[in-house]
Amino acid sequence: MKQLLVILFLGLFFLISCTNNSSQDGAYKMAAEPAPLSYSGEKDLSTSAVRSTDSPTPKSAVVERKRILNAQLEMRVDDVYAAERELINRTRKLGGWIISSSLFWDEVTLVVKIPADKYELFLSDSETLGEIESKSESSDDVTEYYYDLENRIKNKKLLQARFRAYLEKADSMEDILAVERQLSDVTTEIERLEGTFRGLNRDIDYSTVSFQLLPPLTETVSGRIPSFYKTFATLGYKVLSFLYYLLFGVIYLLIFGIPIVLVLGLIYILGWGRIGLIRRFFKKLKN
């Protein structure tokens, strides 16, 4: 009886060990067997190229920050025209340029571009030209956008090179047309991104400074009696200014007023005057 129990126990142990081995072998085969690759021909060309070129770009330990600097100053100066000329001269000496300059009554608005490395120097020197009424500065950090745009351009150029290589190896006319179409799209996108990148670099390298130049609030009282010449010149300037605006208003009325009057007169003649189309129409309705 004991021998029969031992034999049954050994047989059961052998069956269990065989079952485990077979399951492990099956799992190993499933893990080791590679998944089947699918190929869809020409349509997958751009997808495979993008996957190969969109790998993350390694970042350096120290990243140069990219900032766009802007400033707005409102100043009261003794002479707005002299202050404008001085600001223009200083801008050009520092390697900048004038974006816009406008005059409204006795106020001057000036917008300039200054090299970013000379931004602080230019700003501090400009503040000495008059009394600061208001001042605001802004610094836009575009570091992440800058390097992201740079990497996108690099990846697009790699994709462009791959398409050109595919174009040289293409055999059929269908493949050639398909690759040329995708190559044209990538080239257009590169040109667009490079234009944006150039504009971004220009804004980073050159800061924008806007000036609002205002005349003094009140004239300085010196205690001296104003000269007859200055009083007469001021009065004459005001009279000439009034006549100038009056003449401008008359010309404006002649240009726009006369055609309007003629049109209204023609409508009256046609409707209720000698011709009287509208008048006759209502008269027929009454009858």
Residues 98 and 161 in one domain: yes
Residue 33, domain member (yes or no): no
Last residue of a domain, one of 167, 186, 219: 219
- In this structure, what are the phi and psi dihedrals at residue 110, rounded to the nearest 5 degrees? -130, 130
Task: List the alpha helices (DSSP H) in the chain.
Answer: 2-32, 45-53, 80-93, 119-126, 143-169, 173-205, 228-271, 277-286
Residue 8, domain member (yes or no): no
Residues 117 and 173 in one domain: yes
The yes-or-no verdict on residue 165 having pLDDT over 70 is yes
Residues 217-257 pLDDT 10s? 865 444 455 566 667 777 777 888 888 888 878 888 888 88
The pTM assigned to this predicted structure is 0.52
Residues 105 and 175 in one domain: yes
**pLDDT score, position 27:** 37
Q: For the chain, what is the domain count? A: 2
Residues 65-97 pLDDT 10s? 999 999 999 999 999 999 999 999 999 999 999
Residue 35, domain member (yes or no): no
* DSSP codes of every residue in 227-266: PHHHHHHHHHHHHHHHHHHHHHHHHHHHHHHHHHHHHHHH
Residues 188 and 101 in one domain: yes
Q: Residue 208 belongs to what domain range?
A: 64-219
